[in-house]
Structure 1
């Protein structure tokens, strides 16, 4: 059953009760990574295995995402600054226990490539927070694998 989440802003990335931050360097340029994140939203399903379907709504101001396993999100884009940051807030989800979520992808030039940092900032019930903290290693692997896959995709 879908529920509306608390509408939080980009500052939630720094203040959320649970913040999981992952980073990895890739060979692709920041502009190419930004394009894949912000403009080729349907392409997420090709490089991020947890994503089954993603699509832009309202000319890119919103997104709809379906994860493998059936979790759904309706999201609002909070920041889309070329080659620097792409962030969105979950507005509606069927994920149990979640109260607020912002994901931020920060891009920094690193030599000829990009340092990609993903911050998963969330709030929820006590059990939700515990599960999310316990899932840290799995989310880290998912991020690492996704960014590696994206880098390969951008190189081809």
Structure 2
């Protein structure tokens, strides 16, 4: 059953009760990574294996995302500042126990490539927070695999 979450701003990424932060360097330039994240939303399933559907809604002001396993999200884009940051909050989800969620992708130059830092920020019931804490290694692996796949995709279009 889909539920509306508490609307949060970009500051939530730094203050959420649960913050999972992962980073990886890629060879692609920040502008190319930003384009893949923010402008080619339908392309996410090609490089992020957990994503089965991603599409912009509201003329790009939001997104609809579906994950393997059945999780669904309707999101609002909070920031799309080329080429540094792409962030969004979850407005509606079927994820049990969630109260607020936001994600931020921060891109910084790293030599000739990019340092990609993904922050997953959330609040929810105690069982929800417990599950997220235990999911940290799996989410980290999913992030590393996705960013590696994205880098390959951007290097060999």
Which position in structure 2 is the counterpart of 1:72? 72
Which position in structure 2 is the counterpart of 1:29? 29
Which position in structure 2 is the counterpart of 1:113? 113
1:120 partner SS:
strand
Provide the C-alpha distance between the structure 2 equivalents of 1:14 and 1:75, rounded to a whole number of angstroms: 18
Unaligned runs of 5+ in 2: none
1:86 partner SS:
strand
1:49 maps to 2:46: no
| Cα displacement (A) at 1:88 | 0.1
TM-score calculated relative to the size of structure 1:
0.99
Provide the C-alpha distance between the structure 2 equivalents of 1:88 and 1:22, rounded to a whole number of angstroms: 17
TM-score calculated relative to the size of structure 2:
0.99
Aligned length: 156
Superposed CA RMSD: 0.4
| Cα displacement (A) at 1:127 | 0.3
2:95 partner SS:
coil
Provide the C-alpha distance between the structure 1 equivalents of 2:39 and 2:58, rounded to a whole number of angstroms: 13
Q: Following TM superposition, where does structure 1 have runs of at least 4 consecutive aligned residues deviating by more than 3 angstroms?
A: none
